[in-house]
Structure 1
Amino acid sequence: MKRRDFFRNGLLTTVGFGVLGSRPILGTPLTHRQLDGVKNIIFMVSDGMSSGTLNMADILMRNKLGQSSTWISMYESGELKRSLMDTASANSFVTDSAAAGSSWGGGHRVNNGALNIGPNGEAHKPILQKFKDAGKSVGCVTSVQITHATPASFCVNQNSRNAMPEIAVDYLKLKFDVMMGGGQELFDPSKRADGRDLYADFQKDGFQVAKTKAEMLKATAGKPLMAVFTEDGLPYAIDRENNEDLKRDIPSLAEMTEKTIELLSKNQKGFVMQVEGGKVDWAAHANDAAAILYDQVDFDDAVRVAVDFAAKDKNTLVIVTTDHGNANPGMFNPGSKNAKFETLFDVKCSNEHLLKQINANMSNAQMIEIIQHHQNVAISKDEADTLRKSFSMGEDGLYNTSKLPMELFGGMLSKHNAVSWANTNHSGDYVELAAFGPGSDRLPGFVKNYELHNFLLEVAGVSKREFASAL
């Protein structure tokens, strides 16, 4: 079975808490080639990816498809330089995505919730602004809102990650070359509190605006592109691939990545882009095994697109990592012949999608039948009764706006699919960091997150001196 048919066939430190600067140099001295500068950088983030997420997605792919994930196969072949990264923020061992992304974006650790604004109010110029000033094309691709913490951390200065309406306006001012993701409510005048039609403003300022996959594919180089496909985040990959309407209108992360590379690579001075698999993090918060594994596969497909381009181009550095762990899922007691874990091979939707089809008025038999059909497991009558009662109680949780019993259901499914969870929030783990292409040999075996900022500037041959002062 070919990799592109994966979904179509049924699967759809010491830590200091002050404001830390970057070390001037990482690894060995620059070679002559690197002094000229790596032309392109593709920085890829599987947001909230614990090591268990990477492991289980690879196991799933090996046993469903007979081939490993791009990430692990490149570890096996030695093509990826491997490192560990300390992910702490300025005020916590456990970071959020805003502070984690800002460590890369601004080169300093900031408090959780802030975007490139230090604890004392200092503003650190974001890295995509620096690369834009150096003449490169820049852009971001994500499966959540394009104004969300991780893409925003490479682009803007804001005291709070929650200032997403203001971040959307910041993007208009910055005029970056390609921005793709969700978040229509941040651009639509009927959804914005100020009634501003940002879509119209972007078009007036020379942007191409795309709201569907077809419109994205028609975009041409020469004019910047703002592509916003859905309200909120994009659908989970498992839901998109099992719904023909969604699959027609909403691109995969790999498709967005491929199109962005096509557009940005027209610049003879090169490009820098960030790619985020943001729904991996949301699935971890929800303890949703099907959602997290297939969004990790979706991310891995995007990694393959980036690596294929870099292998042909030979002057592109690809960084593959995560900003922090989340929920620390793992496989336990997979059952005889791994039958429990293999139920995930034929799952048809995310837990979120499934729970929206269930209500407290259903009988146990109806609930059991729906779950059997969509999740490929048979829960007991007692479990069905517990689940039905939970709807009247509601459940808090990040990104769980409908107050669905996500944690309860995820825990209930654990004994059926063999995926267990440590929590519903971020962890303080050291995380995977890998590099492919020119400059990758300079990646040390252990890195503090904020050190990557100068590392990227150095391998690209962009001087830090002109950016030494605050904004």
Structure 2
Amino acid sequence: MKKTLSLFILLFVSVSLFAQGKAKYVFYFIGDGMGADQVNGTEMYLAEKEGMIGVKPLIFTQFPVMSVVNTYSRTNSVTDSSAAGTALATGEKTYNGAIGVGKDKEKLTSVAERAKKAGKKVGVITSVSVDHATPAAFYAHQPDRGMYYEIAHDLPLANFDFYGGSGFLKPDKNAEGENAPSIYPMFEKAGYKLYRGLDEYSQSSRDEKLILIQKEGSDKNALPYAIDRKAGDLALKEITQSAIEHLSYKNNKGFFLMVEGGKIDWACHDNDAATVFHEVIDMDEAIAEAFAFYKKHPKETLIVVTADHETGGIALGTGKYALNLQSLQYQKVSANQLSTLMSNLRKEKNNNVTWEDMKQLLGENMGFWKEVKLTWEQERKLRDEFEHSFVQKKQGFEESMYTKTEPMAARAKEVMNEVAMVSWASHSHSANFVPVFAIGVGAELFNARLNNIDIPHNISKAAGYKW
């Protein structure tokens, strides 16, 4: 209670600091796919876990400024991540698929590049690959988001000080799919040191330009989902800590740091509610690192939290005047990891999996028949899919934007959504409003309904970057 009261007092006092000076330190958090109900659902889930009806606030939702943001692109009412990322980075609308370029493929200057020109240190970090759409929009200029090799070649040209994420998707294949020289020697030649994991990073020099990615052999596509994380896995919070340490070291001029919670979007594409809420919590833990920095520098720091678009059209309720979000706490793995466990079970049992084997796996990882009681119809749905894909062996993986899933895992996820009373409109993006939250110097600039292109302009105004 004392901790919460202290936070509210600090937030109240911060309102009086809005108009004082320029933001020397800027944190720009982007929750990919994070609409208002992804945030609201997370807070209601946390409350229900503690036996309460209502919300248990995240750190960033307690910031004194909050509003809503339109996300449409130049070419469509429903944006993709590259056009939305470009809008949030450059303050210009563009076509779906563009990375840091305008409608005629002309180069656009990002707020991060403006910060660098203003003499600030700059960092760009994410929970997915460094060359993915949102982070790329801050340093790269390419006509197509799928040009990962070419995007990586733009990284040293921006001359930023810190990059972090899971890795690089195509380090040695160009847009035509042809073999090409590896990007890593190119990074080294440009003066960057590459560190794989926190153990290597601990040996780094704070005055060098660097790139922090996962350990050798890890998934280059993304960090593990928070719900699946194991000891030793790299987390967004840890990359954020490292970036703050690096950018603030012997730095009197200030810094700009963009942080993307990239896998909120992935879990929404999968319609996996429990995993979504864990990803929002995970980003909040990264924001906590920025907030701790803010408390030490309240008159010099701005923190902005927003999203590029909403994904999935999540709805908290399925017809009854009720929710059962607390049931999601018994889901121990993502739907993607559950699919892997099922595939492993097939191999272990030489493709002769019994219904009792499957019930045990679902009980251990989803809480079914134990903490989570199922209706006859829900159990029938699971049993029918088991008969189809495990007994008759008519297996066909189901695909969403980023994953291929065992159909049995997909049915289990659907049942969990039914139990929790969460529904989804699609497996893709929507044109729904997204939220924006702000605290610190210049936060009053975000106290109105905004278009996504307004946000980098307002950050530049608060920080005094030349536009």
TM tier, shorter chain? Answer: 0.7 to 0.9
The answer to whether the 8 Å contact 1:188/1:199 transfers is no
Distance in 2 (CA, whole Å) between partners of 1:287 and 1:105 is: 27
1:440-455 alignment to 2 at 5 Å?
A: 440-455=443-458
Distance in 1 (CA, whole Å) between partners of 2:386 and 2:158 is: 48
1:336 deviates by 12
Aligned to 1:386: 385
Q: Match for 1:373: what amino acid?
A: E
**Over the residues paired in the alignment, what is the CA RMSD in angstroms?**
2.8
1:303-314 alignment to 2 at 5 Å?
A: 303-314=287-298
Aligned to 1:97: 81
Describe the shift of the 1:419–1:173 C-alpha distance in structure 2 as closer, same or farther (beyond 3 A): same
The answer to whether the 8 Å contact 1:395/1:403 transfers is yes
Matched, 1:58 2:43: yes
The answer to whether the 8 Å contact 1:377/1:416 transfers is no
Matched, 1:295 2:279: yes
Distance in 2 (CA, whole Å) between partners of 1:205 and 1:159 is: 24
Matched, 1:278 2:265: no
Q: Match for 1:367: what amino acid?
A: M
Q: Match for 2:192: what amino acid?
A: F
The answer to whether the 8 Å contact 1:364/1:381 transfers is no
Matched, 1:85 2:85: no
1:402 deviates by 6.0
Aligned to 1:363: 354
Q: Match for 1:171: what amino acid?
A: L
The answer to whether the 8 Å contact 2:32/2:263 transfers is yes
Candidates 341, 355, 358, aligned match of 2:325? 341
The answer to whether the 8 Å contact 1:41/1:317 transfers is yes
Q: Match for 2:334: what amino acid?
A: S
In structure 1, runs of 5+ residues without a counterpart are 4-29, 465-471
Describe the shift of the 1:333–1:164 C-alpha distance in structure 2 as closer, same or farther (beyond 3 A): same
1:90 deviates by 0.1
Distance in 2 (CA, whole Å) between partners of 1:427 and 1:204 is: 42
TM-score by length of 2: 0.83
1:335 deviates by 9.6
Candidates 69, 84, 93, aligned match of 2:58? 69
Q: Match for 1:364: what amino acid?
A: W
Q: What fraction of aligned residue pairs are identical, expressed as a percent?
A: 29
Q: Match for 2:451: what amino acid?
A: K
Aligned to 1:257: 240
Candidates 218, 221, 246, aligned match of 1:232? 221
1:95 deviates by 0.7
Moved more, 83-92 or 115-124: 115-124
Distance in 1 (CA, whole Å) between partners of 2:277 and 2:244 is: 25
Aligned to 1:39: 24
Aligned residue for 1:179, secondary structure, equals strand
The answer to whether the 8 Å contact 1:83/1:433 transfers is yes
1:337 deviates by 9.9
Describe the shift of the 1:337–1:133 C-alpha distance in structure 2 as closer, same or farther (beyond 3 A): closer
In structure 2, runs of 5+ residues without a counterpart are 4-16, 370-377
Moved more, 296-305 or 402-411: 402-411
Describe the shift of the 1:83–1:372 C-alpha distance in structure 2 as closer, same or farther (beyond 3 A): same
Q: Match for 1:433: what amino acid?
A: V
Matched, 1:171 2:174: no
1:49 deviates by 1.0
Distance in 2 (CA, whole Å) between partners of 1:31 and 1:317 is: 9
**Residues 137-192 of structure 1: per-residue CA shift (max 9 Å, x gap):** 11111111111011111111110111111111211333311111113443379xx9
TM-score by length of 1: 0.83
Describe the shift of the 1:149–1:380 C-alpha distance in structure 2 as closer, same or farther (beyond 3 A): same
Aligned to 1:459: 462
Aligned to 1:23: none
Number of residue pairs aligned between Structure 1 and Structure 2? 422
Describe the shift of the 1:32–1:356 C-alpha distance in structure 2 as closer, same or farther (beyond 3 A): closer
1:219 deviates by 2.9
Q: Match for 1:383: what amino acid?
A: L
Aligned to 2:368: 377
Distance in 2 (CA, whole Å) between partners of 1:445 and 1:174 is: 32
1:366 deviates by 1.7
Aligned residue for 1:273, secondary structure, equals strand
Aligned to 1:468: none
1:47 deviates by 0.7
Distance in 2 (CA, whole Å) between partners of 1:319 and 1:68 is: 17
